Amino acid sequence: MAAAAWSERVLELVLKLNSLQRACCLPFCVQGQRVGWVMPPVAQVLVQNSDIFKLCNDSGARLELSDRLHCPKERTRAVQEVMEALRGQDVFPCLQEWRDELYDVKGLFADPPLLSMERAATPLLGVPRYGVHVNGFLRRGADIFMWIARRSLTKPTYPGKLDHLAAGGISAGSGVWETLLKECMEEACIPESLAATAKPAGTISYAYEKDAALYLECQFVYDLEVPESFQPCVGDGEVQEFYLWPLDQVKDAIATQEFKPNCALVILDFLIRKGHIQPDTEKFYTKFVENLHGPL
């Protein structure tokens, strides 16, 4: 692919995943702490449950969870009941991706959770969702090759798209390292002895709006260098096959519709960190770097 065309396509993707206009959103607060954002039309639906959600204007417009819910367990149960009711009414498209999987809601990732809520419902309140992505690669002399997965055609989201060697969301009560080891084993049958050699490489974060739902996501990124003898195997069925590609092929692929979009961003960061994309030759180098680490 011509360099100019590649740059334009990747910049378009990066900006699309960083397109959230917070000025159009209301803060969502729990116990006086902002933990998310919500679109005004969504807030108007939620406040119909006035014993759980309320709009406040005393120090700026915001949506608050009722103070009568005194503990995380009470908040979790109350919010879950509201979201289940909305799911049954087929009001918001994101709720049709219901997973029966809870994510923690908190100020900072290291903070104790204020509540937990259904993964598919988190975009309605614009609370950050956290995950782990593993860049699996090997070296052949001066060249780097990367393991790429193709998602199962039965996956509810992005079926058949290209993905990381292993990746997954961090469920309620789980940690980053725990999730990394679990996803490596479940998705690619990577033994813990090898997965445990993964090195932390920072985070990638982005935020965008879709159908009145706000997706604020932060991915903890790890680099896992594997030996030449390593061969990933399909584990839990979320992946249908794996490929070992040179970085030039990986670079070309992230500019196509083949890749799951957030994985393309994590790989873009990998290409930059490994010097495969250089500031002297890449027109949008600074734009890429700025938008790979957006605010949540």
The pLDDT tens digits for 104-134 are 999 999 999 999 999 999 999 999 999 999 9
Dist CA 134 CA 140 (whole Å): 19
What integer pLDDT is reported at residue 294 of this predicted model? Answer: 85
Q: Does this model's pTM top 0.85? A: yes
pLDDT of 1 above 80? no
How large is the average pLDDT for residues 135-158? 94
What domains can be seen in the chain, in order of their start residue?
Answer: 3-18+129-291 (3.90.79.10), 22-125 (3.30.750.160)
CA 274 vs CA 16, 144, 225, 265: distances in Å: 24, 9, 13, 14
Q: Which long-range contacts (CB under 8 A, 24 or more apart) does 209-213 make?
A: 209/19, 209/20, 209/21, 209/39, 210/94, 210/123, 211/92, 211/93, 211/94, 212/39, 212/41, 212/42, 212/92, 212/124, 213/39, 213/42, 213/92, 213/93, 213/94, 213/123, 213/124
Instruction: Work out the pLDDT band at 156, boundaries 50, 70, 90.
Output: confident
Q: Count of alpha carbons within 13 Å of 200, Cβ hemisphere only? A: 6
DSSP class of residue 165?
S
Q: What are phi and psi of 82, to 5 degrees?
A: -65, -45
pLDDT digits (tens, 9 = 90+) for 54-88: 999 877 799 999 999 989 999 999 999 999 999 99
